[in-house]
Amino acid sequence: MTLDFDEGDELRALRGAVADLGSRYGQAYFLEQARSGGRTDALWAEAGKAGFLGVNVPEEYGGGGGGLVELSLVLEELGAAGCPLLMMVVSPAICGTVITRFGTAEQKERWLPGLADGSRTMAFAITEPDAGSNSHRIGTVARRDGDEWVLSGRKAWISGVDLADDVLVVGRLADSTGGTLRPALFVVPADAPGLEARPIPMEIISPERQFALFLDEVRLPADALVGHPDQGIAQLFAGLNPERVMAAAYSLGVARLAMSKATAYARQRAVWGTPIGSHQGLAHPLAACQVEIELARLMTQKAAWLIDSGQDAGSAANSAKYAAAEAAARTVDQAIQTHGGNGLSQEYGVAALLAMSRVSRIAPVSREMILSFVAQHDLRLPRSY
């Protein structure tokens, strides 16, 4: 078997087309929407119409027939252009993947075409106030009542509920016992009676907000359940590994944007007649960040390829997310340092990336949990949690 690190003409063309779209909106548009309480609906709609949001959806449902390799590339390029669409991590990646793999024919017909062209957006709700990273403590309960399902519970840190038509909710089947997780995934209309969303005030400058969800006896038809109730674990991880890869792509885009700003400034800004980028005190830290970005990109591409190939991608997806988050955090920090005082001004748009890059070390899974996973599964060390 021959290793080939050339993306090829099709992927290069996709990168170019997405970069062109992103540049026509750019960071100024993204930040204006965020600071004014607006939304990036125009960019989302245009990306959907161009086929970028649905590159991973099967062609028979209006998608591009590609996979996570293509979808992660789209998010990376939009991020590098200054407008990373967080809901791409959720709607086409997590929800689109789960429904494509486990949904019934009717469910695919109902939801996938809209996810593919951007006319329908789906949020994803798994995290809970008392569970955090411990999915075995999920408290949202789903019970049968005749031909209906009834969901009750709470969720926290759920992205973009105000943008979503539906929410893919992870619950625990009512017959689950303590310590035994029997998850099930349900598509809940965002306007369902009994579902309440409350925004969480955030310091992050983003048009995509976070919410706490409250489900009070939310009644759903039988076909709201995605897949088989006994396959919940497989369905859950079918969505979580793509989530990690897309989080890595998001971080890569942010890191590349920060690097672009830093190097442009270092080439142009002159002190005593010499560009500041000629000094190793700035050049070397930026070069080290560039190395980290390229290493993270390679791992992200590998993890996406493994998922698209149907192989075990747990370690690769976690490693990609870790590497990209670290690269983004360090690159943004160095970009601010390179700009000096200008790095804190709104004019240069660098400080706006700070909270965005920092949260990448926490969500959707913290770097500590990733290191615990790698220690247990790759190094075969005793489980620490």
- Residues spanned by the domain of 39: 9-120
| Contact between residue 339 and residue 260 where contact means Cβ atoms under 8 Å apart | no
For range 227-239, the mean pLDDT = 84
Question: Looking at the domain assignment, is residue 325 inside a domain?
Answer: yes
If asked whether residues 241 and 163 sit together in one domain, one would say: no
- Give residue 180's pLDDT: 59
Of the pLDDT bands very low, low, confident and very high (cuts 50, 70, 90), residue 85 is very high
Question: Looking at the domain assignment, is residue 152 inside a domain?
Answer: yes
Question: Looking at the domain assignment, is residue 167 inside a domain?
Answer: yes
Question: Looking at the domain assignment, is residue 2 inside a domain?
Answer: no
If asked whether residues 166 and 88 sit together in one domain, one would say: no
The string of pLDDT tens digits covering residues 249-287 is: 999 999 999 999 999 999 999 998 999 999 999 999 999
Last residue of a domain, one of 195, 227, 259: 227
Surface-to-core class of residue 106, CB atoms within 10 Å of its CB (0-12 exposed, 13-18 middle, 19+ buried): exposed
Question: Looking at the domain assignment, is residue 99 inside a domain?
Answer: yes
Top-confidence residue, 181 or 149? 149
Instruction: Of 93, 85, 99, give the one whose Cα is nearest residue 69.
Output: 93
Of the pLDDT bands very low, low, confident and very high (cuts 50, 70, 90), residue 385 is confident
The contacts of residue 237 (CB under 8 Å, 6+ apart) are 314
Domains of the chain: total: 3
If asked whether residues 139 and 35 sit together in one domain, one would say: no
If asked whether residues 49 and 181 sit together in one domain, one would say: no
Q: CA-based angle 347:351:353, to the nearest 5?
A: 115
- Give residue 131's pLDDT: 76
β partners of residue 184: 171
Of the pLDDT bands very low, low, confident and very high (cuts 50, 70, 90), residue 310 is very high
For range 345-374, the mean pLDDT = 95
Question: Looking at the domain assignment, is residue 207 inside a domain?
Answer: yes
Last residue of a domain, one of 66, 90, 120: 120
- Give residue 133's pLDDT: 63
For range 369-374, the mean pLDDT = 96
- Give residue 230's pLDDT: 80
What is the CATH number for 48?
A: 1.10.540.10
Asked whether the predicted pLDDT for residue 179 surpasses 80, the reply is: no
Question: Looking at the domain assignment, is residue 196 inside a domain?
Answer: yes
Top-confidence residue, 229 or 298? 298
Asked whether the bond before 201 is cis by omega within 30 degrees of 0, the reply is: no
What is the CATH number for 183?
A: 2.40.110.10
The string of pLDDT tens digits covering residues 316-345 is: 999 999 999 999 999 999 999 999 999 999
What is the CATH number for 293?
A: 1.20.140.10
Last residue of a domain, one of 98, 120, 142: 120
If asked whether residues 272 and 253 sit together in one domain, one would say: yes
- Give residue 236's pLDDT: 85
If asked whether residues 54 and 180 sit together in one domain, one would say: no
- Give residue 138's pLDDT: 87
Question: Looking at the domain assignment, is residue 219 inside a domain?
Answer: yes
